[in-house]
Amino acid sequence: MKPTRLLALALFVAAIAIVVGLFSRDRTHQRPAPASGAQAIERAEHSFLLVTVDTTRPDRLEPYGAENVETPTFAALARRGITFEHAYSTAPITLVAHTSILTGLYPPQHGVRNNGTHHVKPELETLAETLGERGWKTAAFVSAAVLDHRYGLDQGFDVYDDDLSTSRERFPRMVPDRPAEATIAAARDWLDTLGTDDKFFLWVHLYDPHAAYSPPPPFRDTYRDRLYDGEVAYMDAQLGKLFAHPRLELDETLTMVLGDHGESLGEHGEQTHAVLAYDSTLHVPWIVNIPGGPAGLRLPHVVDQIDLLPTVLDLLDQRPPPSDRPGRSLVPLFEGHTQLPQRDLYAETHLPYFTYGWAKLEVLRRGMFKYIDAPTEELYNLSRDPRELSNVAERQPGLTHDLGRDLGEMLEALGEGQSDEATLALDQEAVEQLRSLGYLAAGNAAASRPDSDRPDPKEVVGLHVGLERARHLIQDRLYEPAERQLRAVLDRDPQNLAALVDLGQALAAQDRIDDAITAVERALALDPSYARLHVMMASLERRRGEPEQALALLDTALGLDPNFFEAALQKAQILTQLDRRDDVFALLDELLANHPDEPRILTTHAQLIDLPSGELDQARQRLDQALERDPFLIMGWRLLGDLEERSGNLQPALDAWKNGLDRRTDDPDLHARIGTLLARRGDPAAEPHLREAIRLADDRRPELHIALGGVLAEQGRLSEAEAQYAVVLDDQPDNPAALNNRAIAYYRTGRVDQARADLERLTRRVPDYADAWNNLAAIAVEQSDWPTAERASRRALALIDVLPEAWNNLALSLAQQGEPKEAETAYQRALDLEPDYWQARFNLGILFADTDRHRQAAETLQAVIGIVPRFAEAHLRLGNLYADHLDEAHTARNHYNAFLRAAPSDPRGVAVKQKLAEMATATP
């Protein structure tokens, strides 16, 4: 029995040692004296700048040995300050790590275990609260929605700027972020507001190296094959702009740059971060510059993010944090102490659990050894194996056992399981944004498996990589390879809810509605409480022609999540389709009453209520409000352009659509709108937009091929135009627009009889197609078949009386049939509809001349030249009018000479030159 008692005593002592190591604190606020010959650090109430660099590997920075990534700002800071060679994160997840940095607590203590699902509890005290209460002005500028104020890190900040309206390109359901340039500009603006005597705590968070990597030029070119490195170099350049602000003189401001976590970049099979717990994602940079402190100092000690808070309070000469904070001040190291008492460090990632229902990973670091608690335990000797390539757990079972036991006791001492985690209810859009980065599950994945059946993340990390690949393929509209990738995941993990959700999306995008429904039904069987699945099923039922069934599914989703805007707005769309206008009004008015500034609700209200009711000013006001709050709301830009087009404001319409396209460059609807409007204006710039719309559209859109054909025909590229019409007519042999435009192409290639025959067949087959009647009239005018021209023009105008071309053709036929007054009325109608329709104005001028109204004729033809200055025929007619009827020889000579310049090869030029010679020798 003695060995048992001795073992129990040994365990008890070990536990006490851990607790003392974690929580002992010098309550008298006494500090050890610096080592002999070392520099004492002056404690003073300096301003404090904290820059956290997201997803940044130390080995990509010059102070940590990077040779092929230019980071001169980091290098200069390191030369002026202190570099920690071995600083570690508490978690490879942004919100979790930042909460530890700003509270000085480990995740089991602060309760934040994942992005999105958790928030900082109000009762926790942050560094901003501590310094704010002691007189510091406080401000934070963050660069990604994962640090949105809703997650609680705004506690204690006078200003918490999470405005991401200056974001870079966003994809649907992706986490919004803004580039370093925008974040730093906002921080500099805040610094400009400070008084000269104000001391401040400024936190700036930079997100740029986070996937997807997309550095701007010139970094995009310099690092074209290493875009992650390009993001790091870009961030370094922008950081230099922050340090250049006059209020951030480094010899006056305590400055720290600290990473939240790293990036795997393929190590251990992980492409990004958060699923595994290796040092590729836990090792972080930490560089410190202390006013008057050591320069160029490199420290090999193992330190932790939780040490920042007590170190800062010590340097600023403030009271130490409460005794429940496990971190410690590192100032003794700055003063020359070569050693501090050894302690164990903790880290974790619970993301595999929350995202896929896989096992949690928890880490204990002791000296050279690192232990990872997983279904298959891992132990690494970091002094011999820094890249963690050889798991020695089986070769050193005693040490593995001891570290596993001590980790359990450490977690118990930290309060693991003793209080509820600080969970947060999110709206579904935020859930989907976080899920797109792998931070959240599709539904309740954690509850879908028993604890005994949770896979080891390192064994199935390939499934996570496969899901990431599939999401990228879906974003790029490559649905078939995405489907193959997702089915490969499901072959290995049939209960993977995320894979089933994405599979349903990929199948629906391929119009395989029944297959998509099967995938979503499988997902619903795993988690019937996941509201998005009911919305997905509603969308599929709607496409299957079952709107009532879709409504029932949407009501189920809203019962699960009353704030699920997408479900409510889709319901409004279906109610509109069913002509239940009163229900639409009631639903949207209730949504606006509860969420008056929500951009998606404002946009849908404008779309479904204001615009159909003709309330254009109200619609414009709502859309402007929505886009001010969210400039990346593409539907808002579409509708604003539609509104402007409907109001006849064509350039503002184009501007609105181009604003949307600047924010989502691959939106097929925006390309289609721009291309179609430009095509109507005869602008050759329509072609690239129409081709992009055709390339990007999920379905074949005949109207785009027809519009493109029209643009090509206008440029004389008639065979290409015919090919576009053939694309449509192969699928839809009776498509009237394609037949009509093909006839125009025939006409322009000299096949006039074929064009006329096709148009006559089309008018018999589709008698209410106005464009066909109008084009038939134009060909009849060309053939001087005036009765047919008049009949066809009148049929076109009976269908649509606002076609200026039809009024022009009617006027021509009437004039040639001896009806000048009726012809004049028709020309005027054409010009009322389109004042710049110079062809009708020219024909009216000829009519005036033919009816001996010479002065009116001259004035009308002068107006034509104001629109088309080098129109040779108008100059010739004017020359004749002024020479033969108005007795203005000087003006006549000007127009004759203009004719000769505009049409030097016209055979009538000989007679014009003769007439000019006669005018020159005539007696005045």
Tokens 């503002």 sit on residue: 652
434-439 mean pLDDT:
44
Place 697 in a pLDDT band, splitting at 50, 70 and 90: confident
Distance between CA 28 and CA 740 in Å, rounded? 92
153-170 mean pLDDT:
82
What's the pLDDT score for residue 472? 83
What's the pLDDT score for residue 6? 29
Place 17 in a pLDDT band, splitting at 50, 70 and 90: very low
Q: Tell me which H or E stretch contains 140.
A: strand 137-141
557-583 mean pLDDT:
90
**Exposure pattern of 475-495 as b/e (b: 16+ CB <10 Å)?**
beeebeebbebbebbbeebeb
Distance between CA 742 and CA 709 in Å, rounded? 8
What's the pLDDT score for residue 175? 61
At 839 the three-state DSSP class reads helix
723-734 mean pLDDT:
90
Instruction: For residue 506, give the nearest of 526, 486, 488 by alpha carbon.
Output: 486
Check whether the bond before 212 is cis (ω within 30° of 0). Answer: yes
Residues in the chain, how many?
924
**Taking CA 138 as the corner, what is the angle to CA 135 and CA 142, rounded to the nearest 5 degrees?**
165
User: CB of 99 within 8 A of CB of 156?
Assistant: no
pLDDT beyond 50 at 754: yes
- pLDDT tens digit string along 449-480? 667 778 899 999 988 888 888 988 988 889 99
User: CB of 812 within 8 A of CB of 823?
Assistant: yes
What's the pLDDT score for residue 418? 60
pLDDT beyond 60 at 5: no
Place 516 in a pLDDT band, splitting at 50, 70 and 90: very high
What are the residues whose beta carbons fall under 8 Å from the beta carbon of 409, sequence distance 6 or more?
Answer: 14, 15, 18
pLDDT beyond 60 at 19: no
- The pair of structure tokens assigned to 639 is 């509708």
599-619 mean pLDDT:
93
Check whether the bond before 218 is cis (ω within 30° of 0). Answer: yes
Bridge partners of residue 202, in order along the sequence: 49, 139
The whole-chain average pLDDT of the chain stands at: 88
Which of 201-210, 660-669, 692-701 tops mean pLDDT? Answer: 201-210
Place 626 in a pLDDT band, splitting at 50, 70 and 90: very high
- The pair of structure tokens assigned to 7 is 């073992």
Distance between CA 149 and CA 156 in Å, rounded? 11
Place 171 in a pLDDT band, splitting at 50, 70 and 90: very low
Place 283 in a pLDDT band, splitting at 50, 70 and 90: very high
Phi and psi at residue 401, to the nearest 5°: -60, -45
What's the pLDDT score for residue 651? 93
- What's CA 126's distance to the chain center, in Å? 31
User: CB of 626 within 8 A of CB of 635?
Assistant: no
Distance between CA 102 and CA 514 in Å, rounded? 50
Q: Tell me which H or E stretch contains 213.
A: none
387-401 mean pLDDT:
96
pLDDT beyond 70 at 661: yes
Percent of the chain exceeding pLDDT 90 equals 69
What's the predicted TM-score (pTM) here? 0.65
**Exposure pattern of 249-269 as b/e (b: 16+ CB <10 Å)?**
ebeebbbbbbbbbbbbbebbe
What's the pLDDT score for residue 163? 85
pLDDT beyond 60 at 14: no
What's the pLDDT score for residue 448? 53
Place 4 in a pLDDT band, splitting at 50, 70 and 90: very low
Q: Look at 517 and 165; give whichever has higher pLDDT.
A: 517
65-79 mean pLDDT:
96
What's the pLDDT score for residue 250? 67
Instruction: For residue 93, give the nearest of 154, 147, 163 by alpha carbon.
Output: 147
- DSSP character for 118? B
What's the pLDDT score for residue 923? 56
- pLDDT tens digit string along 229-281? 999 999 999 999 999 999 997 678 999 999 999 999 999 999 999 999 999 99
Between 872-884 and 838-850, two packed helices, what is the crossing angle to 10 degrees? Answer: 20
Which of 10-24, 351-365, 397-411, 801-815 comes out lowest in average pLDDT? 10-24
Place 682 in a pLDDT band, splitting at 50, 70 and 90: confident
pLDDT beyond 60 at 446: no
355-372 mean pLDDT:
93
Which of 178-192, 410-424, 552-566, 883-897 comes out lowest in average pLDDT? 410-424
- What's CA 874's distance to the chain center, in Å? 52
550-578 mean pLDDT:
90
What's the pLDDT score for residue 7? 29
Distance between CA 273 and CA 275 in Å, rounded? 6
Distance between CA 56 and CA 143 in Å, rounded? 14
pLDDT beyond 80 at 28: no
CB atoms within 10 A of CB 919: 15
Q: Look at 433 and 57; give whichever has higher pLDDT.
A: 57
- pLDDT tens digit string along 590-601? 999 988 888 889
524-537 mean pLDDT:
89
User: CB of 372 within 8 A of CB of 381?
Assistant: no
Which of 256-270, 434-448, 606-620, 847-861 comes out lowest in average pLDDT? 434-448
Q: Look at 540 and 564; give whichever has higher pLDDT.
A: 540
Give CA separation, 502 vs 211, 484, 507, 596, in Å: 19, 11, 9, 32
pLDDT beyond 70 at 31: no
717-726 mean pLDDT:
90
